[in-house]
Amino acid sequence: MKSKYLLLSAALLLSGTSCKKYLEQAPDQRTQLNTVQKVAEILGTAYTQADYATFTEAASDNAEDKGINVGTLDPMNQDAYNWTDVRSRDGGSPTGFWNASYAAIAAANAALDAIAKAADPKPYQPYKGEALVARAYAHFMLAILYATPYEPGGKNTAPGIPYVVTPEKVVFQKYDRGTVQETYDKIEKDLLEGLPLLRNSAYAVPKYHFNTAAAYAFAARFYLFKHEYDKVVEYATAAFPGNSFASNIRPWNTTYYNASANEMQIMFTQASQNSNLLLTEAPSIWARNNSFYRYGMGYYLNDELSTQMVTGTNFSGEKMYSYGGANFTLLKWNELFVRSSPNANIGIPYAMMIQFTADELLMNRAEAYANLGQNDLALADINTFASTRIRNYNPATHGVTLAKIEDFYGISDPKQGLVQTILDFKKREFIQEGLRWLDIIRLKLPVVHNVKAQNNSDTYVTLQPDDPRRLFQLPEEVALSNVPLNPR
């Protein structure tokens, strides 16, 4: 290294005045965020370019051990299923997601810094809104995955996650994790400041950015974690004025049911689908491997999806496919392979990751209604959801009522029964999407995994709500910035 610097110094001395002129120029004009267009472009990278589904799905109860020599044995999938620190640093790992999230936050901060310095900030306002909401969302997902869950009415003094609001200017900047309460307060501040500034007209394809509906869906999810149910209802309702959820949630028992396997796989993550509110790209092998991992949806979960629900049937509009043996899929993912050159056989696999849907939003509102004691409204949302998942849906036959819930679950308390129904619906609906982990964390649900022996017999292990392994581990290198790791 020393000789390298000496050679560089000699070259600079020899270059004379030409070197001086060269050094007066910015090394890369793209780093000068001095126009609205440049700020808008950098915000295309203010979204985490990594998937969380790979590790959250394996850790959840939407995965099972398919057995010895069944499926692909991958350390990233195996570690997450066994609730041990994931060794991989790839995009579908906790380390990969952490690093990609802070890269997204850095892009948002660069945009905000440029906007603050602009001579005329007015044309930048939609992008200021996008940067603030994107920054809030990246920190929110980090808080869910790496910090102790928010406790409504609690002190929330456990370590949060570093909330970064300025561009980094030094190597190994020192950061403080703060508390969970401080983290959530900062998320809320950014969200509420940014949301009114958003304008869908600022984007050619709004669903690749924080459009208003996606931002409302984020707000609803955020306040669901805070148990502020009136705000969940407020923002969920604002996303679809006129309560038009029925025509915007996934058409499982019509369009999807009648589609070919290839059509279904392509359609599910398209921006043209009304149900998809925000899509982001990620270098990821999840689309390729999620059905083939050893720890995923196998015979047990396939049977669970086929069993009768409180509706009197299963979600019969959702077709299950098998790649052979215990490898099942609902064909939700389509890999986009970017070749390194036009004639190359190598490249990078990508997936369009679904951040928010009308379907999750509707179920979040139903849960809020249930907690507010507005049972009829909760049932209306539940039945709207069920009507697009059951073939030949008949309200008289399949409609969910409080009496049916009590009879099916043996739960007499209406709120508990409604919430249990919603959680069951969501568990089935979002399998292979990674969302189940959010409900597990938010409601402190235990997770039971089976472990297959050589003779194919099962033993069972449980991840309890107070187990420190429910917090995914931070990358080891954060210690260089004075950020402590999660306890083990």
pTM for this structure? Answer: 0.92
Residue carrying the six token digits 């139903």: 366
Integer angstrom CA distances of residue 83 from 18, 64, 352, 435, 449: 58, 13, 26, 17, 10
Residue 11 has pLDDT above 90, yes or no: no
Model confidence band, residue 31 (pLDDT cutoffs 50, 70, 90): low
The helix (H) or strand (E) run that includes residue 225 is helix 212-225
Summarised one tens digit per residue, pLDDT across range 302-335 is: 999 999 999 999 999 999 999 989 999 999 999 9
Lowest model confidence (mean pLDDT) among 20-29, 169-178, 278-287: 20-29
Lowest model confidence (mean pLDDT) among 7-16, 67-76, 219-228, 374-383: 7-16
Q: Which residues does 138 contact at the CB level (< 8 Å), separation at least 6? A: 46, 47, 48, 101, 102, 104, 105, 108
Contact between 311 and 386 (Cβ < 8 Å): yes
Model confidence band, residue 170 (pLDDT cutoffs 50, 70, 90): low
Identify residue 324 by its one-letter amino acid code: G
The helix (H) or strand (E) run that includes residue 449 is strand 447-452
Task: Give the CA count within 13 Å in the CB-facing half-sphere of 173.
Answer: 14
SS3 state of residue 448 = strand
Q: Is the dihedral of CA 315, 318, 324, 328 positive or negative?
A: negative
Report residue 308 as tokens: 């009768």
Residue carrying the six token digits 């279904």: 264
CATH 1.25.40.390 fits 30-481, yes or no: yes
User: In the chain, where are the structural domains located?
Assistant: 30-481
CB neighbour burial string for 288-322, b if at least 16 within 10 angstroms, e if fewer:
ebbbbbbbbbbeebbebbeeebbbebbbbbbeeee
- What beta strand segments (E) does 137-289 contain? 276-283
Task: Give the CA count within 13 Å in the CB-facing half-sphere of 146.
Answer: 33
The share of the chain scoring above pLDDT 90, in percent, equals 88
